[in-house]
Structure 1
Amino acid sequence: MIIYPTMELQNGKCVTLHRGRLEEPSIYHVDPVETAIGWAAEGAEWVHVTDFDAVAGTGNNDELIEEIIRRTATSVQLAGGFRTRERVEQWIDKGAGRIALGTMPARDPETFKVLARDFPDQIVLAVDIWQGQLMTDGWKQPAAIQPEVFLQQFSNDPLAAVMITDIDSDIDQPDESLGVISSLAGQTPHRVIASGSVREIDDIARLKYVPNIDGTLVGRALFSRDVNLAEALEIAKPKPEKTADFI
């Protein structure tokens, strides 16, 4: 299973949100670039970055994200505000390893499908759930399609992964979030990245054995030091199968 150490950017700072509320961020006074460099040094293969200013349409953190891509010795997965083909292409050209999109596939599924075909294994379908509904536009608008139908719509496209977030779940109730994510994970043939379900190290150990979950984002738990990245990476490694000894 892949651990995606995660930073969410707002006004140039690392933040986390409570149930997706952009107006109520918790701010962490760390350097985003140095934090990403540190994660790579600890062995992370990927870093996930979400631009909340781009999500809200109030600006962006483009220069900071470019520096993270340029200076971090790991692949970078981006999310937040990718509403057009041009912006997706721009960031792939700048070196982003993957782009996660949620609003575009709900509003313009054909363009999303073309992007998936043009950039195989670089496009991630973001599925954001609130009270059982699929949400778009920065988690503000419910989509007129059921999450299960939404997933099935892209079953045959060459996606890098499907990223599922239970917006409504509280980080102190990971069991509920895991139930939502694991249920939807069974509805897609693609690899699934869980988001919002890691509160402590034991949650990673549990996620590892949920069918079809290939990775998990870990953000708040890292910044609050409830999870140690090196330990999480070690737990996520595949364990070798026992083999019989022959004489």
Structure 2
Amino acid sequence: MRIYPTMELQNGRCVTLEKGRLDEAMIWHVDPVETARGWSAAGAEWMQLTDFDAIEGRDTNVKLVEEIIRSSEMSVQLAGGMRTREQVEHWIDKGAGRIVIGTLAAWDPILVKELAKLYPDQIVLAVDVWQGQVMTEGWRSQSAFTPEAYIEAFADTPFAAILVTDIDSDMEDVEAQLGLISGLAEKSRTPVIASGVVRTSDDISRLAYIPNISGAIVGRALFRKSIDLADALEVAQAAHEPVAQFQ
């Protein structure tokens, strides 16, 4: 299982949000570029980078995002405001390893299927769930799709992964979130990345044994220092190592 240390940007600063509320960001006083380099030094091969300003149609973080992609020495899975084909292709050209698409998939599924075929293993479908429905526009608009039907509609699309977030579960209720994510992973033909369920190394161990979970997003726990990235990577790697059989 792959660990994606996750950075969220707003006005050039690292932040975390409570259930996507852009006006209630918790600011972390760290340097984004140096933080990304530190994650690479700890052994991470991928990171997720989410641009909250891009979700609101602002280009405040463009230069910073470019610098992180260029200097972090690992692959970047980039999310936030990917509403057109041109934006997706621009960031692939700029060196993003993968692009996370949410709202655009609901607006224009044919285009997103085409992009996934054109850029194999570079497009990730975001499935953000609130009260049993898929949310769009930065978690602000509720669609008519259930997550099960939404994933099934893209069943034959060659996505790199499907990123699942359970928005309305109690942030401390990991069991409820694991229930939703494991259920969707069971139905999906595409590997699932779990978001919002890692607070400790124990959570990584539990995720690693759920079928079709290929990775986990780890953000707030890293900034709060409730989990060490090197430890998280070690736990994820060790989870499926073969165990000697006693005779």
Task: Tell me the amino acid that sits aligned with residue 64 of structure 2.
Answer: L
Q: Distance in 2 between matches of 1:188 and 1:84?
A: 25
| Number of residue-to-residue matches in the alignment | 246
Is residue 219 from structure 1 mapped to residue 219 from structure 2 by the alignment?
A: yes
Mapping for residues 4-15 of structure 1, pairs under 5 Å:
4-15=4-15
Query: What is the Cα deviation at residue 175 of structure 1?
Result: 1.5
Mapping for residues 1-247 of structure 1, pairs under 5 Å:
1-238=1-238, 239-243=240-244
Query: What is the Cα deviation at residue 132 of structure 1?
Result: 1.1
Moved over 4 A (4+): 243-246
Structure 2 SS opposite 1:237: helix
Query: What is the Cα deviation at residue 201 of structure 1?
Result: 1.4
Name the stretch that deviates more: 36-45 or 17-26: 17-26
Q: Distance in 1 between matches of 2:148 and 2:246?
A: 46
Deviation readout 1:162-181 (Å, 9 max, x if unpaired): 00011122332222111111
Q: Distance in 2 between matches of 1:242 and 1:144?
A: 46
Query: What is the Cα deviation at residue 214 of structure 1?
Result: 0.5
Task: Tell me the amino acid that sits aligned with residue 162 of structure 2.
Answer: V
Query: What is the Cα deviation at residue 244 of structure 1?
Result: 5.5
Query: What is the Cα deviation at residue 59 of structure 1?
Result: 3.7
Q: Distance in 2 between matches of 1:6 and 1:242?
A: 31
Aligned residues with identical type, % of pairs? 58
Q: Distance in 2 between matches of 1:161 and 1:215?
A: 9
Query: What is the Cα deviation at residue 145 of structure 1?
Result: 1.7
Q: Distance in 1 between matches of 2:38 and 2:55?
A: 26
- Contact conserved, 1:134 with 1:142, CA < 8 A, in 2? yes
Name the stretch that deviates more: 50-59 or 4-13: 50-59
Task: Tell me the amino acid that sits aligned with residue 6 of structure 1.
Answer: T
- Contact conserved, 1:171 with 1:199, CA < 8 A, in 2? no
Q: Distance in 2 between matches of 1:105 and 1:51?
A: 18
Runs of 5+ consecutive residues of structure 1 not aligned to the other structure: none
Query: What is the Cα deviation at residue 56 of structure 1?
Result: 2.1
- Contact conserved, 1:69 with 1:95, CA < 8 A, in 2? yes
Task: Tell me the amino acid that sits aligned with residue 114 of structure 1.
Answer: E
Structure 1 SS opposite 2:214: strand
Over aligned residue pairs, what C-alpha RMSD do you find? 1.3
Name the stretch that deviates more: 49-58 or 120-129: 49-58
Q: Distance in 2 between matches of 1:104 and 1:213?
A: 24
Query: What is the Cα deviation at residue 199 of structure 1?
Result: 1.3
After TM superposition, the score normalised by the length of structure 1 is 0.96
Deviation readout 1:124-161 (Å, 9 max, x if unpaired): 00000011110001111111222111101111111100
- Contact conserved, 1:171 with 1:198, CA < 8 A, in 2? no
